[in-house]
């Protein structure tokens, strides 16, 4: 079957859109390794700006990664059981709770940060620590974890799985961790992907919650563009890409692996 002009028109439009998105990314990355951004590549290549970014913002980069990992752990511990309850016990109260859970996503990040400052800003040590930022990140990312896991749990016959495991003598916790959680793995991995990426890249909420001693990667990136040479800001962006892109690829690979059906044992079938 031949391909008509519509196929090539769609292909051309897709390529144009991809170039429109990717060219600024490439230009920003190149600016971070050129001697002078205004002269371009003719000024030569250098790693000076990357080393300067690391010297100035290494603590912010490491802190941002630590907060994203802590955020992932908290949302896993809280989000998976919450998704189970929402799916297993549907009703008015669970629907109301689900709506309240999504409020942090619906309201602007600055408004959420202001609410946290008004409520907990008086606790000095807590306010000055990275745990304050972690609280905001958990509130913002928890709905994504719950929705992803709940969607997978709702698609499987959870009641039948639990009844089958219970008939074999499995208690609640064994049914939950041995049956429900493994079957919900695709949703858990998808939720983990969103939580980590959203936490690392979150700026609006973090900008209001941070202190000079608790800057994260996006806040440091904004400072670099506002107060440093353009090359340093671009080098900071390049470091951000180096950190986030391999993480995205790795987590996507895990998610794809979890979605694949198990391989058939042809040898066993032949024996039967």
Q: Mean pLDDT for the chain?
A: 80
Percent of the chain with pLDDT strictly greater than 70: 90
Question: What is the DSSP-derived secondary structure letter of residue 40?
Answer: G
Is residue 178's pLDDT more than 70?
Answer: yes
Instruction: Choose between 140 and 266: higher pLDDT.
Output: 140
Write the CB contacts of 239 (distance below 8 Å, at least 6 apart in sequence): 50, 53, 54, 61
pTM of the model: 0.78
Percent of the chain with pLDDT strictly greater than 90: 6
Q: Which residues pair with 34 in a beta bridge?
A: 45
The CATH code that applies to domain 50-259 is 1.10.3720.10
Write the CB contacts of 82 (distance below 8 Å, at least 6 apart in sequence): 101, 142, 146
The reported pLDDT for the residue numbered 272 is: 43
Instruction: Choose between 171 and 4: higher pLDDT.
Output: 171
The reported pLDDT for the residue numbered 268 is: 44
The reported pLDDT for the residue numbered 259 is: 58
8 Å CB contact between 34 and 44: yes
Mind listing the pLDDT tens digit for each residue in 104-140?
Answer: 777 888 888 888 888 888 887 888 889 999 999 999 9
Write the CB contacts of 91 (distance below 8 Å, at least 6 apart in sequence): none
């Amino acid at each position: 079957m031949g391909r008509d002009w519509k196929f090539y028109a769609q292909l051309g439009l897709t390529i144009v859109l991809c170039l429109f998105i990717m060219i600024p990314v490439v230009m920003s990355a190149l600016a971070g390794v050129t001697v002078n951004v205004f002269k371009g590549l003719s000024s030569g290549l250098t790693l000076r700006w990357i080393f300067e970014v690391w010297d100035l913002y290494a603590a912010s980069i490491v802190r941002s990664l630590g907060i994203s990992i802590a955020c992932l752990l908290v949302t896993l511990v809280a989000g998976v059981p919450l998704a189970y309850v929402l799916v297993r016990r549907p009703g008015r109260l669970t629907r109301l709770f689900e709506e309240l859970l999504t409020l942090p996503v619906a309201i602007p990040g600055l408004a959420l940060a202001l609410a946290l400052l008004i409520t907990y800003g008086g606790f000095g040590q807590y306010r000055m620590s990275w745990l304050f930022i972690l609280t905001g990140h958990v509130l913002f990312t928890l709905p994504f974890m719950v929705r992803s896991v709940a969607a997978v749990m709702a698609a499987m016959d959870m009641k039948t799985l639990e009844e089958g495991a219970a008939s074999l003598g499995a208690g609640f916790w064994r049914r939950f961790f041995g049956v429900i959680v493994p079957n919900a793995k695709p949703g858990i991995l998808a939720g983990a992907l969103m939580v980590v990426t959203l936490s690392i890249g979150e700026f609006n909420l973090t900008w209001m919650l941070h202190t000079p001693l608790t800057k994260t990667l996006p806040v440091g990136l904004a400072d670099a563009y506002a107060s440093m040479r353009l090359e340093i800001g671009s080098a900071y962006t390049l470091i951000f890409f180096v950190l986030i892109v391999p993480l995205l690829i790795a987590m996507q690979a895990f998610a794809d692996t979890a979605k694949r059906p198990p391989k058939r044992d042809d040898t066993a079938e032949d024996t039967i």
